[in-house]
Structure 1
Amino acid sequence: MRFPNSGLFHYCKNLGENIVADSTDGLDAPLTMYVPSTAATAFERSSIRTIVETAWHKVWKPFLLDCRVWHAPFQSGRMVPNRKLFRHISTVLTIHDLNALHEDKPEEEQLRSVRHVQKMIDQSDVVVCISEFTRKDVETHCNLGRTRLKVIPNGINPLAAPRASVLTYKPERPFLFGIGYVNRKKNFHTLVELLHRLEGWEVVISGRLDEPEYIASIQEEIERLGLTDRFHLTGPVSEEEKSWYLHHCTAFVHPSLAEGFGLPVLEAMSAGKPVFLSDKTSLPEIGGDAAFYFRNFKPDYMAEVLHDGLEKFNTNQMESVVKSHANSFSWGRTADAYARIYKSLL
C-alpha cells in the first residue's frame, strides 16, 4: 500500500473494509492490517485495527505471536511468516498475475520471477488467483503440491466524485482516456499512431511515468507526428481527476499486453463508457462481451475497431450493458469469499 493510486492499494483497502462491513460469514478473530507509514490512515472504518510498519520489524515482528491467519496480498512481496518459526500461522497468498511470462522479458528474468512465486507458494496454505487466466498460468508454471487453489475475482472500486477544478489537464476536444503505469507492458505507444488517424480527437493517458526511455520514445513520436497539442501524458492523478476523465471521455482505451485482472476496465464501464482493450491475457475474461477488442495493433485496424465499436455502442445504446457488467463484480462478494477461507484456517 505504499502507492495510494495503485491497483494494489485499492485491492487492500477495499478488501479490508468490505470484510469488516459486509462479510456474511463473519470472523471470530479481529482483523488487523499491517501497513506502511504512508497508509497509516488509509482505512476509514474505526473497527479496522492497523499495525504500522517500522524499521525494527525487519528484525522481529512481535504481533506474529498472536496471529492465526496471515494474508500476503501480492505474489511479488516477501511478507510471509517463516513456517518453521511460526507453525501456528496459516498463510493465504493472492497471486495477481505471472505477467513476467507475457512481457517479452529475457528467459532468465521470467524464470527468476516464477522461482520467487514458487517460494511464496511453498510457504502458503491457500493460494487465491484473481482471474481464471492467472489460475491457468499458476497451474502451468508452478507446483502447488498440497496447497489449495481458489479463484476469487476482484470487486469494482467505487469512483470518487468527479472534480474539474483539480484537473492536471482539461481536454478541449472529444478524447480517449487510458490509465496505468506508463511502461512497455501497457502498450500505450500504439495510441500515438492511432490518434494520428483521428482528426479532431485527443488522447489523455494518466498514471506513473514508469520507464524513462519508453516515455521518451512516446514523446518523440508525438512530436514527429505533430500531436503535441492532442496527446497528453498527465502523470499520476487524484481519484477525483480519474473519475472526471472516466465520466467525460468518449471511450476508454487499454491496449495492455499483460494484465492479471484490469480494474480500470471495470471502472470505465461503471461510468457507462465503451472500452477498447487488447485481447491479451485476462482482459477478454474481465471485459467479456461488453468490451471491444484490438486483435492486433496496426493503426489502421485499431482506428477501424474504434469507429465500428463506437457506432455499435451508440446504435445499440449499450451504456446500461456495460454498467450492468461492471456491477457484476462486487467487493462484498469478494470479501465474503476471502472471509470463508480465513475462517476455514482458524
Structure 2
Amino acid sequence: MTDYKEKQLKGNKIFLIDGRFLESMATGVDRYAFETIKELDRICGDAGFEVRLLVPDTVKSEHADTAAVVDAFSNIRVYYVKRGSRWTQVTFALHAWKMGAVPVNLCNEVSVMAPKGIVCLHDTCYADCPEFFPEDEVKWFLGIYRRIAKKAAVILTVSEFSKKRIEEVLGVSADRIVVAGNGWQHFEKIQPNEYIFDRLKGVEKGNYYFTLSSANKNKNAEWIISASQCNPDAEFVMAGRKLDRVIEFSKYPNVHYAGAVTDEEAKALMMHCRAFVFPSWYEGFGIPPLEAMSAGARVIVSDRASLPEVFGRSAHYIQPDNPVVHFESLLNEPVQSSDEILKKYSWVRTAQTVMQTLASF
C-alpha cells in the first residue's frame, strides 16, 4: 500500500479527485472533468493545498494516451490503484480516508462511505424529465441525486439553470452550490478531418444543416426528421452513435446519417454547415453548440432549459415541440456576434472557479 503520509506536504489539506472518468471519456461529463483537471494542474502549484488524482490501473493498459496526459501533470499527484468492482463507492472512499483527503467527484456521483466533499452535479434531468428515460434508470439516478444532496458539502454545477433546479429539486441551499461552466478550448486543438465528406455522398460543403445528437430522447433527434420534411429542398446531416436504431434514415432522402463521428470529423462538419442545429428538450449546459460556435458555425438551439442562458443573443432559437421552421428565414434574423459567448466560457475559468472552491473549503 502506498505510504501517503510520506508524500504529504506537512500541514497541507489534501483534495482527492475521483479519476474513474478516465476509463471512458465518452460523454460531455467526462470531457468536463478531463479538461478541468488539466487546467487545474497548471494553476494549483502554489495553492497551499495538495490536489491528488486516484486512477484505476486499467487506464494505464487500456487508455495509454489518456494516461500519458495525466502522467505528465506537474502539480496534481497521480495514484494508480487496482480497479475494484465498486470503484467510487468503496475503492475511492477507502483511499480518501487513508489519505485524510477531501473527496472530489466531477461526474455526477458520490460515495456514501467517503467523507463529505465536493461533487459536480451537471443537471437534474432524471427528476425534471423522467418520461425520457427507462423507469429503472430514473430510479437509479434519483438515488444518486439524494446521495449527493446528503453527502456533498459543496455542489459544483455548470449553469445557473442547473443551480436553480438543484435548489428546487433537491432542497439544497444556494450557498452550497457553485457554478463552474464548460469551455470549448479543447476544440482549438482538433484538426478537421475533411475525409468525412467522402463518406457522405451527395452532401455539398456549405449546403447542409448539421446535428450532433444521440438516441437519448432528451436530445430530440426526431425534431430534425420532422423539420427536414417541412424543408424538403434543404439537406441535413445527422451524426451520433446508434441513431439508426431509432430512426430509419432510408425513408428520408434529404437526411444523411454520418454515424458516430470523431471530434475531427465533427469539426469538419461544423465548419462547413449552413448552421448547427441542437433541438434538445433538456440540457444542463450544451457543449456541442459551443464547439460549433468556436468552429465558426451559426447555431440554432432549443429555447428550453439552460440553452438560452448559455447562448444568449448569439444563437437562433427554435421550439423543441414545433418542427415547422423555415431555416433560411430563421437565419436571416439578426443575432449578436458569438465572440462574447466564446470569451465568457473557458476551461481556464472553470478551473479557477474549482480552485477557489477548494481554497475556501
Pairwise same-fold verdict (TM > 0.5): yes
| Counterparts in 2 of 1:81 and 1:296: CA distance versus 1, 3 Å | closer
Distance in 2 separating the partners of 1:29 and 1:290:
40
Q: Which amino acid aligns with 2:301?
A: L
What are the Cα deviations for residues 286-339 of structure 1, in whole angstroms up to 9, with x where unaligned? 111111111254333x22xx22232235xx7x6xx1143123201111101101
* 1:181 Cα deviation from its structure 2 partner: 2.1
Q: Which residue in the other structure is 1:11 paired with?
A: 32
2:240–2:261: 8 Å Cα contact kept in structure 1? yes
TM-score, with length taken from structure 2: 0.78
Aligned 1:1-346 pairs, distance under 5 A: 1=21, 2-22=23-43, 26=47, 28-35=49-56, 37=59, 38-39=62-63, 41-42=65-66, 44=69, 46-47=72-73, 48-52=76-80, 54-56=82-84, 58=86, 60=91, 63-64=95-96, 65-75=98-108, 77=109, 79-80=110-111, 82-83=113-114, 89-100=115-126, 101-105=128-132, 113-144=141-172, 148-159=176-187, 160-165=190-195, 169-170=199-200, 172-173=203-204, 174-209=207-242, 215-219=244-248, 222-224=249-251, 226-227=252-253, 230-300=254-324, 302-303=325-326, 306-312=327-333, 321-345=337-361
What is the DSSP-based 3-state SS (H/G/I as helix, E as strand, rest coil) of the residue aligned with 1:127? strand
Higher RCO (CA < 8 A, seq sep 6+): 1
User: Match for 1:177: what amino acid?
Assistant: F
Partner deviation per Cα, 1:129-161 (whole Å, 9 max, x = no partner): 211111111111113379822122122242111
Q: Which consecutive unaligned segments of at least 5 residues does structure 2 have?
A: 1-20
CA distance in 1, matches of 2:320, 2:91: 51
Per the normalisation by structure 1, the TM-score is 0.81
Letter paired with 2:216: N
Q: Distance in 2 between matches of 1:332 and 1:248?
A: 28
Amino acid corresponding to residue 154 of structure 1 in structure 2: N
Note the C-alpha offset of 1:243. 1.1
Following superposition, the deviation at residue 60 of structure 1 comes to 4.5
> Structure 1 CA distance, aligned partners of 2:140 and 2:55?
27
Amino acid across the alignment from 2:210:
F
Contact 1:129–1:152 at 8 Å: present in 2 too? Answer: yes
Change (3 A) 1:132 1:310: same
Gaps of at least 5 residues in structure 1 are 84-88
Would you say how many aligned residue pairs link Structure 1 and Structure 2? 321
Q: State the Cα distance separating 1:235 from its structure 2 match.
A: 2.6
The farther-off stretch of 39-48 and 150-159 is 39-48
